[in-house]
């Protein structure tokens, strides 16, 4: 775990506690990582037989990765290495999913809110508690910038003239 932490965060001191927090925030934190309903369904459909052979039960409603999921993934990789089963073709269209425009906008908005959260936390550490008001702490520019970035540079956006005919 510490070796993985050294690769992901080369400048930070590699302690077991830091490595544990990083893995926890990357994979087990719902705010940071979400399989979604479709992702959980496809995960269980693909790895359900492996879990049955291992005597494990995969959760049906949990939208983050669990410890059982990791055990089943490792079991599947071991089976593949032993010649059991076949690896997925990443280019096959059956392994892809169309993301609706609402989901794309939601992700852009979430990124903006996370940036705004970081700014608010920074200001809370700097600002004196008696002078800290929501008006002073909260700045909506990161959210606005994320939305402008999405609508201005997304693969769904197209530049159009601003003239009125």
Contacts of 63 (CB under 8 A, 6+ apart): 30, 34, 35, 36, 37, 39, 40
pLDDT at residue 160 tops 70: no
Kindly report, residue by residue over 51-108, the tens digit of the pLDDT: 999 999 999 999 888 889 999 999 999 999 999 888 888 888 887 878 888 888 998 9
pLDDT above 90: percentage of residues in the chain: 38
Q: How many helices (H) and strands (E) does the chain have?
A: 7, 0
The mean predicted confidence, pLDDT, of the chain is 87
CB 143: neighbour CB atoms within 10 A?
19
- Give, as one character, the DSSP assignment of residue 99: P
> What pLDDT is recorded for position 154?
76
pLDDT at residue 165 tops 60: no
At residue 91, the 3 state secondary structure works out as coil
Binned at pLDDT 50, 70 and 90, residue 162 comes out as low
> What pLDDT is recorded for position 45?
94
> What pLDDT is recorded for position 147?
93
Angle between helices 67-81 and 36-54 (to 10 degrees): 60
Mean pLDDT of 129-153: 90
At residue 16, the 3 state secondary structure works out as helix
Select from 43, 58, 53, 59 the least CA-distant residue to 84. 53
Give domain limits for the chain: 2-95, 101-153
Q: In angstroms, rounded to a whole number, what is the distance separating the alpha carbons of residues 77 and 43?
A: 14
Scan for tokens 């879990």, then name that residue: 51
pLDDT at residue 156 tops 80: no
CB-CB contact of 22 with 2 (8 Å): no
pLDDT above 70: percentage of residues in the chain: 95
> What pLDDT is recorded for position 81?
94
Confidence (pTM): 0.63
> What pLDDT is recorded for position 164?
63
């Amino acid at each position: 775990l510490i070796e993985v932490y050294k690769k992901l965060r080369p400048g930070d001191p590699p302690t077991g506690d830091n490595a544990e927090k990083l893995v926890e925030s990357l994979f087990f934190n719902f705010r940071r990582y979400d399989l979604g309903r479709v992702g959980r369904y496809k995960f269980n459909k693909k790895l359900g037989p492996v879990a049955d052979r291992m005597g494990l039960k995969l959760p049906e409603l949990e939208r983050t990765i669990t410890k059982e999921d990791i055990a089943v993934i490792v079991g599947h990789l071991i089976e593949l290495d032993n010649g059991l089963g076949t690896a997925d073709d990443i280019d096959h269209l059956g392994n892809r999913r169309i993301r609706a425009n609402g989901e794309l906008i939601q992700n852009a908005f979430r990124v903006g809110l996370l940036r705004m959260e970081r700014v608010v936390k920074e200001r809370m550490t700097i600002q004196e508690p008696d002078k800290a008001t929501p008006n002073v702490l909260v700045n909506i520019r990161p959210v606005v910038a994320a939305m402008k970035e999405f609508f201005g540079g997304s693969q769904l956006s197209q530049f159009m003239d601003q003239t009125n005919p």
